[in-house]
Amino acid sequence: MARDGLFASRTLQWTAPGAEWAVLAEAPHACPRTDVVAATDPAMLAAGEALFNSPALLGGQAAKAELSCAACHRTGRGNPHFLMPQLSGAPGTADVTNSFFSPARANAHFDPVPIPDLAMPGKVSRAPGDPALPRFVRTLVVEEFSGAEPSSAMLDALSAYVRSIGPCPAGAAAGEPRRLADQLRLIELAIAGAAAAEADPLLRRQSIAAARHQLGLIDERYARPGLSGLRRQLLAASLDLARLEDGADALRKWHARFAAGLAPRLERRERLSLYDSAVLRRALAAPAKAPD
């Protein structure tokens, strides 16, 4: 729900009332398993994390609501604030066998369960090379979320990322502030994944869509007075990306241009954007007082 047009964050569509600040200001720490990271092809891991954060992977209602895997599994963990009426019981739960997302797997019962932290051992084996995980992820994408059939490289990439999600040491801070740098990093990962995907046009296309989604998330945070010039440049960069010709070179050149030009311009204005905690607090305070 766009709150009075003040901050039309899509994230608020699946966030429990009262938890807006928790979800928009902070994100859980990533504590990747260093042994898994060291043993995994970096481009595959990059693509996997980018896809995990991209709604273009899912179809139907999930894509319309701009849900990605990361909407429920924030930084690969759970999301105690996730709430979508068609899907959740209490906040933090979801029924991923609900007809809302896919008629294919609709079961008769509404049985929301807590969204698991993927760093914890679960029902699905994370052992390297075990096909159970890519098979499970395929079922999620195609049957639960009506996504298009993913390529095996996409499933391997997503599985590699899921395997890399590690538990944080006890006593570590629960979260860290969300910054422009989070989006810039995911754009870099998506482009690295796309550039390495020459043999797999689907993975390339999905990685580009993942990068464009991150540009859109930046745009959302720059919806403030005085920043419309930057938003126009974001849109232009996104359209350029969509029109790129095949080949890793074009992608790398796009990213070099972005990293040397628009990214530092965005950084210089970050404190005026909704990434800044004071700006965000003011934007959320005003509509929170209005009756829902």
- Chain residues that interact with ligand HEC, rule: CB under 6 A: 52, 57, 67, 69, 71-73, 87, 94, 96, 113, 115-116, 118, 122-124, 136-137, 140-141, 158, 162
Residue closer to ligand HEC by CB (options 113, 242) is 113
* Residue 32 DSSP code: -
Residue closer to ligand HEC by CB (options 67, 196) is 67
Residue nearest to ligand HEC (CB): 122
Element (H, E) at 94: strand 93-94
DSSP for 113-145, please give it.
Answer: EEPPPTTS--SS---TT-THHHHHHHHIIIIIS
> Is 159 within 8 Å of 48 (Cβ atoms)?
yes
At its nearest, how many Å lie between ligand HEC and the CB of residue 215? 21
At its nearest, how many Å lie between ligand HEC and the CB of residue 48? 9
Residue closer to ligand HEC by CB (options 95, 276) is 95
Amino acid at 282: R
CA geometry: angle 206, 209, 211, nearest 5 deg: 115
> Burial level of 291, CB count in 10 A (0-12/13-18/19+)?
exposed
> Is 39 within 8 Å of 128 (Cβ atoms)?
yes
Residue closer to ligand HEC by CB (options 150, 187) is 150
At its nearest, how many Å lie between ligand HEC and the CB of residue 141? 5
At its nearest, how many Å lie between ligand HEC and the CB of residue 259? 28
From 203, 201, 199, 195, select the one nearest 160 (Cα to Cα): 203
Burial track 97-122 (b if 16+ CB lie within 10 A, e otherwise): bbebbbeebeeeeeebeebebbbeee
At its nearest, how many Å lie between ligand HEC and the CB of residue 68? 7
At its nearest, how many Å lie between ligand HEC and the CB of residue 134? 10
Residue closer to ligand HEC by CB (options 137, 266) is 137
Residue closer to ligand HEC by CB (options 23, 227) is 23
